[in-house]
């Protein structure tokens, strides 16, 4: 099984904390959509005929595209790839774009999962985060998505950022207790972000570590109380509502990344597209006008890293241990070999026994171990 990620590299306004690639100039939108369609076509063999189980439109702001433009790309994928009968097609959505008319048109497309970037239900938090939407739009977007039968809904919230108190965090979480899936991200303070500059210059105060831990503990108890399954560090869902797309990243599945800055992985190498809309468009224009359609020889828009078995094993350990399922011992034996399994068992003897559960089929972390997931994974690396 494989996944396709399509990156929509536009945001009308850059949020103060964000480091994902996007441009505010949307004058290239039409050209970019054409180029995305070209890339889908030219890279149709990348997944080696593996069945596509998920398509994910991420950003940037995919909802800056019209629903029929999104459907055009879905149609291209449908016509070129082998598809699962139960394909999950997710669209990341910004609340200010989700008007009733927009959602109505979206409901006529093949999108069957919406992931709305709410972050907070407080206007002053949204201002701190540099979000373009209001708290009212955040609430309305959820009601509208439900009205138009998006029954596989995911909401993004953030915590640990300046100005978010425990009381506000409790309020934010309780607003979404009936949603199928929630992603709760602790703020990563990106060095290149405006928020980092503001904190560095004393304009905003960073949240003390003990308050962030308190917010995390509340999140865990909230999830238990409302029967959310904590299936990955930042992800929680009601039964059967895991994100199939993100789950495949953590289980070593193949994925094809389309668009500027998108990453691809085929178990032999990882490659990533240039983070520059103009250069991305120009490259494909030149390619189409040349007689040689060979993508492989080019390193202008793609950078590529060949992965050794050690690198792949380390990556698998790192990502799978962050999930509730942990890493599969059968999978390690089949895909990496017996010596890796032996290495894993040996290294485990250096780790506190209450940090993990080792069964005949898997290695998982306990709730206590989860707090040290990165350290434990690094201790198991080859």
Ligand X SMILES: C[S@@+](CC[C@H](N)C(=O)[O-])C[C@H]1O[C@@H](n2cnc3c(N)ncnc32)[C@H](O)[C@@H]1O
Nearer to ligand SF4, 19 or 339 (CB): 19
Closest separation between CB of residue 320 and ligand X, Å? 21
Backbone angles phi, psi at 265, to 5 degrees: -150, 130
Q: How far is it, in rounded angstroms, from Cα 54 to Cα 175?
A: 28
Stretch that binds ligand SF4, among 12-20, 24-32, 235-243, 312-320 (CB under 6 A): 12-20
- Residue 254, phi then psi, degrees to nearest 5: -75, 145
Q: Out of ligand X, ligand SF4, none, which partner does residue 144 contact, by CB within 5 to 8 A per kind?
A: none
Of 60 and 67, the one with the shorter C-beta distance to ligand SF4 is 60
**Region binding ligand SF4 by CB under 6 A among candidate stretches 14-22, 192-200, 304-312, 331-339:** 14-22
Q: Which is nearer to ligand X, 93 or 363 (CB)?
A: 93
Q: Which two tokens stand for residue 113?
A: 């999962």
Residue 125 interacts with which of ligand X, ligand SF4, none, CB < 5 to 8 Å by class:
none
- Establish if 20 lies at the interface with ligand SF4 (CB under 6 A): yes
- Nearer to ligand X among residue 20 and residue 216 (C-beta): 20
For the bound state, the minimum distance from the C-beta of residue 178 to ligand X, rounded and expressed in Å, comes to 20
Judged by beta carbon, residue 160 or residue 326, the one nearer ligand SF4 is 160
Residues 209/263, Cβ–Cβ less than 8 Å: no
Please, what's the largest Cα pairwise distance for the chain? 62
Rg (alpha carbons) of the chain, rounded to whole number: 21
CA dist., res. 21 & res. 108, Å (int): 29
Smallest gap from Cβ 215 to ligand X, in A, equals 13
Q: How far is the CB of 143 from ligand X (least distance, A)?
A: 17
Distance CA 222, CA 102 (A): 32
Closer residue to ligand X in complex, CB, 2/187: 187
Tell me: does residue 179 bind ligand SF4 (CB under 6 A). no
The option from ligand X, ligand SF4, none interacting with 190 (CB < 5 to 8 A, set by class) reads ligand X
Shortest distance, CB of residue 6 to ligand X, whole angstroms?
Answer: 13
Under the binding rule (CB under 6 A), the answer on residue 64 touching ligand SF4 is no
3 binding ligand SF4? (CB under 6 A): no
- DSSP for 148-200, please give it: TT--SEEEEEEESSTT--HHHHHHHHHHTTT-SEEEEEEPP--TTSHHHHHHH
Strands 327-328 and 113-119: unpaired
For ligand SF4, give the closer residue by CB, 95 or 369: 95
Q: Is 119 left (phi over 0), alpha (psi -120 to 50) or beta?
A: left
Cα separation values, 86 from 58, 110, 252, 314, Å: 20, 12, 20, 31
**Is residue 219 within 8 Å of residue 182, measured between CB atoms?**
no
| Least distance from ligand SF4 to the Cβ atom of residue 18, Å | 3
Would you say 246 or 264 has its CB closer to ligand X? 246
**Residue 14 binds which one of ligand SF4, ligand X, none, with CB within 5 to 8 A depending on kind?**
ligand SF4
Quick one: which of 306, 292, 305 has its CA closest to 42?
292
Cα 95 from Cα 105, distance rounded (Å): 15
> What is the binding site for ligand SF4 (CB under 6 A)?
11, 14-15, 18, 20, 22, 59-61, 94, 117
């Amino acid at each position: 099984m494989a996944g396709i990620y399509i990156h929509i590299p536009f945001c009308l306004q850059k949020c103060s904390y964000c480091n994902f690639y996007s441009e505010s100039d949307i004058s290239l939108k039409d050209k970019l959509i054409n180029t995305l369609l070209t890339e889908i076509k030219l890279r149709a063999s990348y997944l080696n005929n593996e069945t596509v189980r998920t398509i994910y439109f991420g950003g940037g702001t995919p909802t800056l595209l019209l629903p029929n433009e999104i459907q055009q790309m879905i149609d291209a994928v449908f016509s070129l790839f082998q598809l699962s009968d139960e394909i999950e097609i997710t669209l990341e959505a910004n609340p200010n774009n989700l008007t009733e008319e927009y959602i109505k048109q979206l409901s006529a497309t093949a999108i069957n999962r919406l992931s709305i970037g709410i972050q907070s239900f407080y206007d002053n938090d949204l201002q701190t985060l540099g979000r373009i939407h209001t708290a009212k739009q955040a609430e309305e977007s959820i009601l509208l998505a439900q009205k138009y039968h998006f029954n596989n809904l995911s909401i993004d919230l953030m915590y640990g950022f300046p100005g978010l108190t425990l009381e506000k965090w409790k309020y934010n979480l309780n607003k979404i207790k009936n949603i199928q899936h929630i992603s709760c991200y602790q703020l990563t303070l990106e060095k290149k972000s405006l928020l980092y500059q503001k904190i560095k210059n004393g304009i905003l105060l960073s949240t003390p570590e003990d308050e962030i831990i308190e917010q995390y503990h509340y999140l865990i108890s909230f999830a238990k109380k409302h029967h959310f399954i904590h299936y990955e560090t930042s992800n929680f869902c009601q039964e059967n509502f895991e994100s199939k797309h993100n789950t495949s990243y953590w289980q070593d599945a193949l994925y094809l990344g389309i668009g500027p800055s998108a990453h691809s992985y085929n178990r032999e190498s990882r490659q990533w597209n240039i983070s520059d809309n103009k250069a991305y468009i120009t490259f494909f224009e030149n390619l189409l006008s040349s007689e040689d359609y060979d993508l492989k020889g080019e390193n202008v828009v793609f950078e590529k890293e060949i992965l050794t078995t050690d690198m792949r094993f380390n990556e698998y350990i790192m990502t799978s241990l962050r999930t509730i399922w942990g890493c599969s011992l059968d999978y390690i034996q089949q895909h990496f070999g017996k010596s890796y399994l032996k290495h894993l068992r040996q290294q485990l003897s250096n780790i506190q026994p209450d940090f993990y559960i080792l069964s005949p089929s898997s290695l998982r972390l306990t709730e206590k171990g989860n707090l040290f997931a990165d350290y434990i994974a690094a201790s198991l690396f080859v």
